[in-house]
Amino acid sequence: MKKPDKKNKRDFLVVDMKGLRAQYVDYCKKRGLKPGPTIRESISKQLSKESVTESDRAIIPKPDKSRHGLFIRLTNSEHDTLNSEAAKYNLSVNQYIIRLCRYHLTKKPQFSSSEIDALAESNIQLLALGRNLNQIARALNAEDPDEHRPTVKEIKNLSDKIYQHTHEVSNLIRANLERWKIE
């Protein structure tokens, strides 16, 4: 492999166009563009879009105890509206604003107290169903295998899905109750 000329530090990317090259060259020609610079510009635009996208941000499951105060000035109508919106969810204005900010930053749901209670109750019920399924599976293992019944594998798959769901819901609840670090 040839070493690049130190005076001319060019950086190449070879891409298989999968049959699109002729179409792309035609596209550029019709618009009076050159293919190389157009691709570079497209890549540059893509890279310069929001430096962090919603999929890049992560909530790190490690409590972040650091706090910074923020003072904002609102009009009377903005303040009244914030108060009434926060009251709808049984939150203080401060809690409401924090949840709005966290949702905007992470694109992850931020739940009210009643929603968290409902999710917790849902998890309790699903876990009870999972336990019942395990009992059924054990009973099926002990009975006549020729009789038509759900298979242990089907029940195990359902049980696994219930466990996965309850785990995800638990993480959502925990992320709403604890102020975790966002990266």
pLDDT digits (tens, 9 = 90+) for 118-134: 888 888 888 888 888 77
The reply to whether 155 and 106 lie within a common domain is: yes
The reply to whether 68 and 155 lie within a common domain is: yes
3-state secondary structure 71-126: CCCCCHHHHHHHHHHHHHCCCCHHHHHHHHHHHHHHCCCCCCHHHHHHHHHHHHHH
In a domain, 5, yes or no: no
pLDDT tens for each residue of 162-176: 888 888 777 777 766
pLDDT more than 90, % of the chain: 2
Q: b vs e for 109-127, b when ≥16 Cβ sit within 10 Å of the residue's Cβ?
A: ebbbeeebeebeeebeebe
The reply to whether 112 and 67 lie within a common domain is: yes
Using DSSP, state whether 24 is helix, strand or coil. helix
In a domain, 96, yes or no: yes
Long-range contacts of 153-158 (CB under 8 A, 24+ apart): 158/133
Q: What is the pTM of this model?
A: 0.43
The reply to whether 121 and 166 lie within a common domain is: yes
Q: Which pLDDT does position 36 carry in this prediction?
A: 86
Give the range of the structural domain holding residue 27, as residue numbers without chain letter: 12-49
Helical (H) or strand (E) element with 61: strand 59-63
